[in-house]
């Protein structure tokens, strides 16, 4: 019967099959690229914000190091040196350790702002008076340490920064100002901005909003230059008005830019990373374009081959169209398409399989992020709650018990305040490793957030004994010195223990068990910290 219908029917069938194939591929490609576009855009935005936050914290830490180091030098400066310039000069030259932080020099300016009492290194180009300098005026009027506005050093003619520390005698009388001058281009200071940029056409801009100056930018020629007037640059205007975090903003040329803004609190600066959205999201555009190109390139040969050798290709194409149609309609689960040939139809199927695998990998990554702490890799609150719920039901059947330890680090906040969040993050990762090594493989260590952790002990005949042994191991493990970035950090831990037997499990909820452990943890803190405690018992 097919032979009598002639080739025209086969051609029509081939055309219909190709149209169905293209429709299915187009639908899948459309939805897949939309998902991919949104996920990749969020990922790229978060990556830019993470980078800007890291650079801002790095700059703030380096400013803090310079200011605190100079304060220590000022505190140790003998008042008698202010009346003995040669001795002052020698004393400054002997402070070699701090010279690396202030390579333009250290200066001691008398209270009247006259010529320096001492400066190291000696420079003939040092000014004879400093009464007009903002840092001198601020330091002498407030009596507090001052970070100057970005300026051009008169001694060397290069962009620089001055940190000024007032020095007083025992009667609180101002003796003078100890000033350290560091070039903005000093190695190890602003290297993460100087000469670098987010992408090929983006830029970093470190801004001093109170002085309306660029401190430094990816373009070194803009260092210590005025920022655009209000209204001339919407991106800088938004940052000064309080825009923080990540956002897409249209610039003065009516082009969209991906903007990430973070604060440098020590100097009241703002770090702005700006990158054209076309460049920032180029991987998304490339992926979409390549997917569409592959689909288009495979479609035309498929049509030609289908028309040319209809008897061989009609059935595989019809089968492929049915499978894709069923997957698109939801009547068939998403799964790899089987291939039985080695031609363009197989290429289309393999392309679909690769696209499907990429989507599956993204879903797996999202699931991992939803159930694990990104810093330590430990299970998060959601996952530990799920496991607790499962174990509470399971121990009702196996007649065993479980224990829950609530851990809160002692003296962790000063680590963040003193050494910065970057060091704090490394400390938390190290602690996570130590806690994991202190328990069995079947037990679970989770991070709730901040400096709080949970440990779930399962399948124990004597939950309290097991919990106390593990608590002692954890206290001992965290008592050992933590060495991070040449720092020695000492912490403790307060632990609250809650247990549940198989008889109690029927009426125990996850919330109740966590609350008991939390209450016991606060009891441990109240008893002196760095110990464990059980929840208070009530007499029946």
The beta-carbon contacts of 216-222 under 8 Å, at least 24 apart in sequence, are 216/150, 216/159, 216/184, 216/185, 216/190, 217/193, 218/193, 218/194, 220/185, 220/194, 220/195
- CA-nearest of 322, 317, 320 to 353 is 320
Q: How far is the C-alpha of 131 from the C-alpha of 136, rounded, in Å?
A: 6
Is 465 known to be catalytic? no
- Both tokens of 241, joined, read 């008005």
Distance CA 427, CA 404 (A): 23
On whether the CB atoms of residues 117 and 88 are closer than 8 A, the answer is yes
Helix, coil or strand: residue 505? coil
Q: What is the DSSP letter of 481?
A: P
Cα–Cα distance, 99 to 182 (Å, whole number): 9
* Of 451, 459, 465, 539, catalytic: 451
Q: List the beta bridge partners of residue 533.
A: 496
CB-count burial class (<10 Å; 0-12, 13-18, 19+) for 157: exposed
Distance of CA 10 to the CA centre of its chain: 59
CA 368 – CA 374 distance, rounded (Å): 9
Specify whether the CB–CB gap between 317 and 305 falls below 8 A: no
Q: How far apart are CA 174 and CA 291, in angstroms?
A: 71
Residue 171 to residue 327: CA distance in whole angstroms: 85
Let me know: does 340 contact 312? Beta carbons within 8 Å: no
**Enzyme catalytic residues:** 451
């Amino acid at each position: 019967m097919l032979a009598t219908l002639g080739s025209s029917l086969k051609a029509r069938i081939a055309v219909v099959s190709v149209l169905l194939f293209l429709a299915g591929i187009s639908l899948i490609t459309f939805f897949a690229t939309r998902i991919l576009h949104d996920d990749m855009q969020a990922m790229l935005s978060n990556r830019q914000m993470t980078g800007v936050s890291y650079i801002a914290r790095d700059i703030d830490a380096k400013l803090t190091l310079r200011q605190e180091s100079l304060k220590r030098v000022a505190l140790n400066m003998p008042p008698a040196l202010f009346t003995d310039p040669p001795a002052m000069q020698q004393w400054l030259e002997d402070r070699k350790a701090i010279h690396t932080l202030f390579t333009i020099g250290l200066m001691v300016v008398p209270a009247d702002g006259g010529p320096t009492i001492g400066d190291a290194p000696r420079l003939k180009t040092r000014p004879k008076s400093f009464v007009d300098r903002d840092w001198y005026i601020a330091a002498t009027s407030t009596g507090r340490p001052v970070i100057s506005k970005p300026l051009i050093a008169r001694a060397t003619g290069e962009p620089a920064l001055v940190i000024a520390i007032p020095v007083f005698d025992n009667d609180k009388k101002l003796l003078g100002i100890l000033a350290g001058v560091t070039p903005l281009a000093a190695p190890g200071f602003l290297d993460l901005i100087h000469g670098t940029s987010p992408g090929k056409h983006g830029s970093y801009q470190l801004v001093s909003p109170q002085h309306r100056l660029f401190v430094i930018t990816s373009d070194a020629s803009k260092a210590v230059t005025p920022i655009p007037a209000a209204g001339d640059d919407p991106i800088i205007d938004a940052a000064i008005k309080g825009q923080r975090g990540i956002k897409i903003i249209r610039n003065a040329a009516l082009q969209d830019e991906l903007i990430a803004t973070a604060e440098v609190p020590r100097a009241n600066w703002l770090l702005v990373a700006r990158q054209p959205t076309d460049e920032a999201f180029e991987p998304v555009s490339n992926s979409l374009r390549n997917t569409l190109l592959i689909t288009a390139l495979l479609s035309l040969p498929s049509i030609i081959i289908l028309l040319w050798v209809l008897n061989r290709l009609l059935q595989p194409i019809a089968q492929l169209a049915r499978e894709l149609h069923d997957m698109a309609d939801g009547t068939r689960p998403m799964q790899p398409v089987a291939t039985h040939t080695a031609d363009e139809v197989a290429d289309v199927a393999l392309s679909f399989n690769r696209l499907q695998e990429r989507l599956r990998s993204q879903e797996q990554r999202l699931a991992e992020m939803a159930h694990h702490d990104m810093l330590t890799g430990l299970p998060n609150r959601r996952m530990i709650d799920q496991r607790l719920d499962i174990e509470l039901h399971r121990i009702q059947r196996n007649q065993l018990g479980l224990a829950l330890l609530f851990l809160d680090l002692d003296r962790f906040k000063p680590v963040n305040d003193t050494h910065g969040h970057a060091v704090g993050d490394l400390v938390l990762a190290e602690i996570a490793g130590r806690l994991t090594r202190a328990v069995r493989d079947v037990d679970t260590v989770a991070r709730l957030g901040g400096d709080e952790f949970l440990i779930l002990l399962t399948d124990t005949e004597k939950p309290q004994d097991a919990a106390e042994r593990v608590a002692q191991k954890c206290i001992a493990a965290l008592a050992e010195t933590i060495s991070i970035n040449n720092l020695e950090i000492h912490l403790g831990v307060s632990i609250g223990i809650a247990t549940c037997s198989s008889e109690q499990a029927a009426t125990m909820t996850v919330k109740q068990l966590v609350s008991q452990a939390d209450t016991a943890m606060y009891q441990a803190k109240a008893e002196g910290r760095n110990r464990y405690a059980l929840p208070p018992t009530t007499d029946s």
